[in-house]
Structure formats: C-alpha cells, structure tokens
Chains A and B, each alone.
Chain A
C-alpha cells in the first residue's frame, strides 16, 4: 500500500528541525533537512557595543550555554588585539570542560538513551541480576539488589498510575530495542541518577559565572576576580568547591556514563555500519594552554579529513575564503552576486525571506528553498563536525592520548576502526572525549591553583575596554569546539560598533540543506541507506539524528517511493504494553 507518514517533531533535541525522508523497500533513499524557526540574532546585534554582544549571542543556545559567549568574546578580543590573562584562559577552559561533562552526559541519558533503552521492558527485570551486571562493569556504589528493586518498584507504580508523562507513547516494544530487561533497568536507574547529578556539575559555572544556564563572560578575561584574602573574590573556599565538583563529575563519568555506554553499545554493534555519511570531518581545535593565538598548545587539534582518509589532515583557516556560506536553498534573499555564490562570514548577510509553504502544511517543496539554516562549505565540500570529527582529527594527527582512548574503546567493543564512521561511532566518540575532557579539566584546575600560588591573580585585561583606544575598523574571528562541534563567530567592528556579525554553528554544518552542487550535508547524507523496520515508528531515524546531538528540534517526514501518504499512525500507548 502506498502511504506516507508524518512524524513531527522529533523530540529530545534543542530547537526546531524538520527532516523529510524517502523510503524504498524499507531503506532510506533520500533525505532533506530543514529548520522551520528563525530569530534573526545576527541582525539584532548589529550596531551594538561589541563588548555586549556575547550576552546576546549566548542566547543562541541555552543547552550548550557557554559556547557562544566564549566564541563571541574571542572574536572581539581577536578583533581588538586583546590577550586574556592565563587565569582567565584556565577558568574559561574549566567552564568549557564542565560543560562537556554536563552536556554529553545529559545527551546520553536524557536525549539519546530512550532510543536504545526500553523503559517499560525494565519492569520485567530481575533486580538481583541487574545488581550483578552493575557490579561487574563498575565500582559505582549504588548497585545493590535493594537499590534496583526500589527503582523497579517506583517505575512500576508510575506506569500503573496511567499518567505516563514524558514516557507516554515512546517506542517501547519496538523490534529494534535489543537490551535485556536487566540492562534496561540499569539504564533507567542511571537516567534518574544522571538527572539529579547534572545539576551539580554546572555549579562550576555558577561559581565563576554567577549562574547556569547562561553564566557571565567578559571581553578581556573573566569577571570573577581572585582574592584569596577576601570574601569578595575567588578564595580558597570557592576554589575548593570547584575542585570537589570536578572530582565528583569525573567519578560519575568514569563509573556510570562510560560503563553504561560500553554495556549498551555492545548490544548494538550493528549500528557501527549504519549512519556513515560522506566521510569528511572538520575540527577547529580548542582548550588552549598557552593563549588563543598558539594553536599548537590546544588540547583538541584543528584539521580537516576528507573521504575517511586518516593518512592526511588539512589545516583550517578561518580568515581566507576556504569557509563560505550559501543561501541557495535557504529562506533568505539571494546574494547580489548570484544565488549560487557563497560568502565568507565576515561579509555574510542575513536577510530573512520566507518562501516556503504557508502553515498549516503537510510537506515542504524541496525543489525550492526549504530551510532557515544556511549551507556552509569548506573549500566547497560538506563537513561533519562534532565529537567524532575531533577524535578523528586528533587520531590522524598522531595524538597519543586520543589514539589510546579510541583504540581502548574499539578493542573493548571488539569492533574495527571502520565502525567509528557510523551512528554508533558518533555516540561512542562523545563518551570517549568526555573522559578525556574530564581529565584535562583537572589539569586546568591544577594550573589555575599553581598560577595563584605563584602570585598571579590577574583575571581580566581591562586595558582596552575604552573604545577610544580601538582602531576605527577591525575584524576578528572567535572559534571554539562546542560539545556539538566546530563553532565560530565572525565580527566586523566599525567606529566602536558591531558592523557585521555572523555565527556558523555546528548544526549549520551538520543540518544544512543542499548546496548549489546538490551535495547533501551531514544529516541528509548519514540517513541514506538506513533500514526502517516499521515506517510508522521510525526509531532508526531518530537514532542517527540524535547521534549528532542536534541543536534543533526535528520534524521527520517519511515518503515511500511514490511520495504517497501512509495511513494514520497508530497511537501506541506504553501502558497497553
């Protein structure tokens, strides 16, 4: 029967995104990625004081809540030639490290796990066996049969209440759910523990930045002045608090997140061959240890890998025309130079012009412009960015620490290197790098303490806060590795005001529509070839899309080869299972 199904929106992501997919014989043959929401932040910051812009653009995302502020202050500092004190660099690194620890763990448990974990099936688990499994993979103390028995009891009562809340209508009992009941129970227990844990690690942001989400940043350094002899500044108590939070965060990652990731992944090794994509990867590099200007000191290295060839890594340059954004398929006015021309972000434009279907609508016309996301390219090529890209670039550049971590995970799971280029690889890479970043963050913390011990208490370089000291015109770029991938902001400053401002974010790279050559971006590319067991419950699509940790909520449309509408989807309520 020729049908079409609408699955709209995909949840457990940030923002709004829509993907339309064609299916033939149970296999995805084409895909279109679209974001149907726009705010126009790039236009809002025009004319503003460059020192203020970090706060505006920070609101691009409240999940990865520090990264846009960091990219922005770096862009302004780069533009004005401001170097930040070493303590500020370390505090920024520690905050970013804490974000990785928070964001990746929350992604695994709260945004991704329910694609692999069957909550309702956990009710069938034997808590004694769950306890045995838990103790065989980790030293985490909450692992007694009584503990898991209590969790099971709590979930059972919850389900029996008939009010299933966030678990209503999930994909429970789907044939692609492969975990034993006991592992499902383990994962559900840790879902709840992680929900409680995540509010702790972010306190690192609160101490340095005053709040989370959206801690405060500062052009020239950080605002949290150091004073070991005063209640008014960062003193021994505040610093010890950070130390404890980082230590406990690291423990949770090592004893809960990583063992769970490996345990769950071992049941889904077939996903090491699904979601491959085009095989180009890009990282900007991050975590400077000797200043933003010295990229050789970065913990994550920069580079581009083409066609999965790890024998060659190309350098990224943000300042020449290697990076360009296109709007040929995006709801903006075409550039004066022509619809198929790209623009370097310093000269980028954001002239919103919607030309899609009028709501309410069932489907997009993908032969026309079909998204609010622009299409960035590196030397004309689409790039995948994110944890996998970072690890591959480090791996290919011979970074021993990264090679050991990656090889260790591969041998634990007993899968080949090729399995990295996949949905499973993306999800595993996120965990592997979380562990690396947790270790590095402790190093940054030790460096900060050592600096202070050595008598350096500088936290901000206020020398150039007065615009009278600025050139009349300047431009800069601030790049970082957000948890979701390579992120950069480009600014032009004129007469002490923001003349132009452009953000090219990780999901712009991954989720964009086709470029003028018809090349697909990462989401569209990685969905090709994915099997869909039950088109009415397209769990497989969500798995691959979630493996990117999108910053944009999705709506997924499925077409069969005739583009016809599938019959109404059954409302599968988990309390009937």
Chain B
C-alpha cells in the first residue's frame, strides 16, 4: 500500500529518482512551459509547481462509449502516454488498460476514492443512460448513474472526455433509444471540463491533463465548458483551404478536378464553418493531417447534436443560428468558469489580432455565401 511519504512524491522527486539531473528537470519544465504556450518568465513557476506536486490520481470511468477516447488518448505524441501514466499521473482505474480485473479493479478504484478524497481527477468516457431506470449500462451490477455520482463525490476536477460524456453523441441521436445523457446534466455541483469530439484530439486530451497537473487549476473554459485553448476557433477559421472558400472555389463532388486540386469542401457538406475545434491548428496524430486535408468535409463531431444536423453531404443552409460567418461570440457565448475545490479559473485575454483582416474576409465570405444561395 502507498505510504503517506510516497503519496507526497513530487514530479521533481520522481524525475531525480529516475536518475535525471536538476538540469534535466529544468529542461522538462521549459518544455512544458513552451508546450503550454507560456512566456519564458513563467518557466520558474512551472518548475516550482512540478517540484511541489505529487502524481495526481486519475479515475477514468467507461459508460456508453466505443473507447475511441481512450484510443485517442494513447495516440498523444507530446507528452507520450507512457510518460503520462508512469511519470505524470497515477492512472488508478481504467477498464481499458489496467492489469487488475473484477473485484481487484473495483477495489483499486475505491482505495483511490478514499485515500485521495478531494484530490483525484475523474475522467468520464461515455454517456449515462437514464432510460428504464438506468438498466441499459451496468458495471459490477451497478448502474452507470450510481457509479458516476459515487465517483464524482470526491473528485477534485471532472473531465468529460469526448462527445458522449459532453453531449451524448451517437447514442443520443434521434430517437435516443436509451435516453443517453451527458454527465453535466447529472452532476450539477462541480465544474466539468467538457472536451467534445468523436474522439477529441489525443494531444488536446494530454494537454488538458498537463494543464491541470502543472497549474493546479482548470483551464479557462467557454460558456459550454470547453477549454478555450482548444475550442475557441472554428475549424473554418484555421483551415488551410479557407482561401479557396474566400475565392469561391469549391469541390462540386468527390474526386472531381476541384477536389483533386484541394478546393474548399463546403459544398459537399463540410461543417468546418460551425465547428469549434483544433483540427486545423493542432491537426491529428501529431499534426499529420485532419479530415479536410484528407479530402473529406468536417462532420462537426465536437458540436452538440451534430448527428442530427445531417445529411452530412449536404451544404447546411437552413440551420437556425448558424449563418456561415456567425462569430464565436454569437455561437458560443463565453462565460466565466466556476471556482470550487481549490481549483482557480484564471483569465487569459483572448488574442484577437488582425481584426481588420478578419472583417474584410467576412465581407467577402458573405458575398460568396449569397452567390451560393442565389
């Protein structure tokens, strides 16, 4: 069993134990700071926080899901997942990776919930079916709802991984046969970081974990509970095919000459204009590509109800509230996060540069949109 001393082991101690030097540790802190996009003046703060923090226990629950979120998490390139689970967090419960099964698995979870009450992070993958009294998803003979409420009770922070936990995702699409429910509709008294996407990008998932353990506070969230660092821009705004959109050059169908030339996919159904995600900036699998770069429109998998906003291959014209140039301000009303349990929500001024250029782009785009609709 873990001793009190070992509980308090810090990243610094852990790194020194592994035979690294103080110098290596500072390099690591510098790297983390760079990764978080911080000024060099903040490296000291990062190093200090790493020196004084023990490996935070993580309980990762699985309800109505397909495990794509866990799979995406282990795809993270920076940090790589073996470094996360060996050095950065203590992943004490996850059905996907843990060695123990059955009673031993549940015992490990309960040990963490007791020993680290108020100190562990709860990650939830999957929605919770409320239909038929919760009979549609049971683990160890207990309903997902009961398990969620129990695990949330002592959690320091709660992360809703993916569209299932954040929005209900595919099983909540019409007619939602099992009354699949996102977790924020069940847990009302704690801040929840919503990380939508089917799945979310691996580096985004790792980045949120790194943020929590490095700064010991929630990342700044928008009005829908999404970290602004990764969800404040539309895919459309960071898309490398955007100039074709502005120029009115579109693929008319798949594999036509325009598609081969890499023109904008808006007319074959791309949801980039109404989807907030990092696909155009961070991209997927260590920046290799993203759906639009590989020729398929964005299906909007990080947006609420995206499954019911189809058909996917038809251009969205009549969707209420989503004019193509609606801004982040009108679609995602940004509100302050909640402060509880020792986690401070900090404010970072949004970088709204090049306002003028954006405005002129918008004007051109609106003209194009009119042309399309006429």
Interface on A for B, CB 8 Å cutoff?
Answer: 5-16, 36-41, 43-44, 48-49, 51-52, 55-56, 59-63, 65, 110, 114, 119, 150, 153-154, 157-158, 160-171, 192, 195-196, 198-199, 202-203, 205-216, 218, 220-227, 230-233, 241, 352, 354, 356-363, 372, 457-462, 465, 537-538, 542, 553-556, 569, 571-573, 575-576
Contacts and interface: CB of A to CB of B under 8 A. Distances in A.
A358 B141 CA distance: 9
A40 B171 contact: yes
A225 B18 CA distance: 48
B107 A169 contact: yes
Interface of B: 1-3, 6-7, 9, 14, 17-19, 54-55, 57, 62-72, 74-77, 80-82, 85-86, 89-92, 94-108, 111, 129, 132-143, 146, 169-171, 173-178, 180, 198-199, 202, 241, 253-256, 259-263, 279, 284-286, 288-296, 299, 301, 307, 310-313
A63 B309 CA distance: 26
Contacts of A114: 99
A212 B73 CA distance: 11
23 contacts: A7-B101, A8-B140, A11-B99, A11-B105, A16-B139, A38-B137, A61-B67, A62-B67, A63-B68, A154-B86, A162-B2, A163-B54, A165-B86, A166-B85, A208-B294, A211-B284, A212-B284, A214-B198, A215-B294, A230-B262, A232-B261, A360-B143, A573-B1
Given A165-B91, A171-B99, A199-B202, A39 B180 contact: yes
A571 B107 CA distance: 7
A56 B307 contact: yes
A358 B44 CA distance: 54
Contacts of A171: 99-100, 104
Nearest to A231: B262
B260 A9 contact: no
A357 B75 CA distance: 38
B260 A232 contact: yes
A8 B138 CA distance: 11
A227 B103 contact: no
Given A6-B103, A41-B170, A169-B104, A199 B74 contact: yes
Contacts of B288: 203, 206-207, 241
Interface residues of A: mostly helix, strand, loop or mixed? loop
B170 A167 contact: no
Given A16-B138, A16-B139, A210-B284, A166 B294 contact: no
A487 B131 CA distance: 29
A359 B143 contact: yes
A9 B139 contact: yes
Contacts of B143: 359-360
A363 B141 CA distance: 8
Contact of B295 (A61, A164, A169, A224): A224
Contacts of A162: 1-3, 6-7, 9
B135 A359 contact: yes
B336 to A, nearest CB: 32
A225 B254 contact: yes
Given A59-B68, A165-B91, A208-B294, A44 B99 contact: no
A412 B89 CA distance: 41
Given A49-B310, A65-B71, A161-B9, A166 B94 contact: yes
A62 B101 contact: no
Contacts of B254: 218, 220-221, 223, 225, 459-460, 462, 465
B289 to A, nearest CB: 5
Given A9-B105, A214-B301, A218-B296, 10 more contacts: A38-B129, A38-B178, A44-B173, A51-B311, A62-B70, A157-B17, A196-B82, A199-B285, A211-B289, A212-B284
A214 B170 CA distance: 13
Contacts of A212: 72, 75, 284-285
B285 A203 contact: yes
A534 B262 CA distance: 61
CB-CB nearest 3 A-B residue pairs: A232-B262, A62-B68, A7-B102
Contacts of B102: 6-10, 538, 555-556, 569
Contacts of A352: 136, 177-178
Contacts of A457: 260
